Amino acid sequence: MSRFWGIGVGPGDSELLTVKAVEAIRQLDILYAPQAHKGGTSVAETIAHPYLPARLVIKRRHFPMNDDWVAKMRQWQSIAEEIIQDVQAGYQVGFLTLGDPSVYSTYSYIIQLVQDEIDVATIAGISAYSQIAASISLPLVMDEELLTIVPATAPLAQITAAVDNNDNVVIMKVSAHFKAVYQLLAARGLLERAVVVIKASMADQKIKQMTAFQADDKIPYFSTLILKKHSLKEIMTREII
């Protein structure tokens, strides 16, 4: 039976694809991949490249990354209609997405437009923040701690509330409003508790404490911040007391 597969390729390292993701990729006839900003191969396609069948037809499509919702919806609808036609023609069709398809992914919008017309399967991927925590051996959540995930593009009031009301905070794509986030953490004396990972799990990954930056620094798009208010020692001491 022909199907549309949404496949998470993880944060950057090709070896972090799940076995299920690789198996799904290898049975595809057609693959939809995001079009890189300047043409050519996207990061998601590059990650999946070692597993792409030679016979695979790759359809690179542009997905607008701006605030023009009318333009984005028009493009998503066009791509969704093309996907539906391919699946209904009997092809196994896939869509690649960085990290996990269910976490801040364009796939989430495409799925809403196709799932009533064709059979769909979603393959989970390792999220950037999970890999970041693993790479620095940092427990994201312990005992009764709270964790929240927010995009840096959210209103500053929401980011502030996340920082004030949670023990651990992941701020995705922190480059979008780096200065505001920096100033927020500095005002609360939390710079030393925050780590920024640039290009997680890629060959040129960089890990820096927030104290290594200045508020006006420009950092790459693929940057994620993890704030952990309490150290492991503090948590254990609190539990013993």
In the three-class reduction of DSSP (H, G, I as helix; E, B as strand; rest coil), residue 93 is classed as: strand
Q: Tens digit of pLDDT for each residue in 86-110?
A: 999 999 999 999 999 999 888 999 9
DSSP H or E run through 207 = strand 206-209
User: Of 122, 73, 92, 96, nearest to 12 (Cα)?
Assistant: 96
Fold equal for 4-126 and 129-240: no
Q: What is the average pLDDT across 193-203?
A: 89
Q: CATH number for 129-240: choose from 3.40.50.1100, 3.30.950.10, 3.30.429.10, 3.40.1360.10.
A: 3.30.950.10
**Cα–Cα distance between 10 and 117 in angstroms, integer?**
27
Give residue limits of the domains in the chain. 4-126, 129-240
Structure tokens at 6: 């949404």
> What architecture is domain 4-126?
3-Layer(aba) Sandwich (3.40)
Alpha helices, DSSP H, located in the chain? 19-26, 43-48, 69-88, 107-114, 128-135, 156-165, 178-187, 232-240
- Non-local (6+) Cβ contacts of 147 within 8 A are 140, 141, 166, 167, 168, 169, 170
Q: Tens digit of pLDDT for each residue in 5-33?
A: 999 999 999 999 999 999 999 999 999 98
CA angle 135, 23, 109 (to 5 degrees): 75
**Measuring CA to CA, how many Å separate 189 from each of 121, 137, 171?**
45, 23, 17
Q: What is the average pLDDT across 213-228?
A: 93
**Cα–Cα distance between 163 and 147 in angstroms, integer?**
10
